[in-house]
Amino acid sequence: MGTPLVVITGASTGIGRQLAHEFARHGFDLVLTADDDLLDTTVEEVGARGTRVRGMRADLATYAGTMELAERLDALERPVDVLILNAGVGAGGPFAGQTSLHDQLRVVDLNVAGTVHLAKRLLPSMVERGSGRLVVVSSTVAGLPGPYQATYNASKAFVSSFAAAIAVELRGTGVTVTTVLPGLTDTEFFARAGLRNTKLGALSFKDDPVRVARQTYAAVVAGRAHVVTGPAYNWLFVLAGRLLPDRLLARVHRVFSAPGSARDPVVG
């Protein structure tokens, strides 16, 4: 058997970048994809390990961009052993206020449609071979209605439900599905989503994306159905989403996600 191949979306920064380093450390070949100039830097860094790595620019928020990526992967004429659907974007601010329709729809197009589209294109060949691993990066906010980041939290609820459902469908096929639930992680997400002036953006105890990547790798190779990464208290967010009423969860979330809340007391 040849060297296994992992495809990682959203690989230019943050968790995706560290996942690239982690899988490279364990001897995988890599295809890294993102839609920004930082992808080239990540490809160079990972390649410096002696790993065979290829960068493919693609806008997975568009049907055409996702189709193009799938076709380029087909052209490699080698199986994708691990598909990590990590690409995602947020849009902080009031949904009915100054946030644009374009930004809100891009959250849905990338986080939801892009995830479903690429999974649909690549999963059938894994099932046909009887082996493969699908990894869907969700979030501990998947069960929390998120005022001022309404589409983002909803998108993570979608991909968590989606991954859990197809994991059951794929039992016995040799293909595993792992849902990754990171908590607050120290990445570029908060700046890009316009959340730096919120308590969420200002909190200092964000998790290290290196740890998220290492815990994700361990869960994927073990074939686990899901993993909550980071400190143990991240389980509190997951359990709260399962046990508490949505209205209460939304009101608590609002304290931390409201624009300008970084300047306010935590309770008030």
By annotation, the residues acting in catalysis are: 152
Q: Which residue, among 148, 264, 172, 158, has the nearest Cα to 223 in the 3D structure?
A: 172
Location of structure tokens 């990540």: 42
Helix (H, G, I), strand (E, B), or coil: what is residue 91?
A: coil
Q: Which two tokens stand for residue 76?
A: 């490699």
Location of structure tokens 């607050």: 184
Q: 36 and 10 in contact (C-beta within 8 Å)? A: no
Q: What letter represents residue 65's amino acid?
A: G
Q: Which parts of 82-198 fold into alpha helices (H)? A: 101-107, 115-129, 150-169, 189-192
DSSP 59: -
DSSP 185: B
Location of structure tokens 């296994």: 4
Per the rule left: phi > 0, alpha: psi between -120 and 50, beta: everything else, 267 is beta
How many helices, marked H, and strands, marked E, lie in the chain?
A: 11, 7
What is the rounded end-to-end Cα distance, in angstroms, of the chain? Answer: 60
Q: Which two tokens stand for residue 169?
A: 């469908």
CA gap 233, 256 in Å, rounded: 17
H or E segment and range at residue 153: helix 150-169
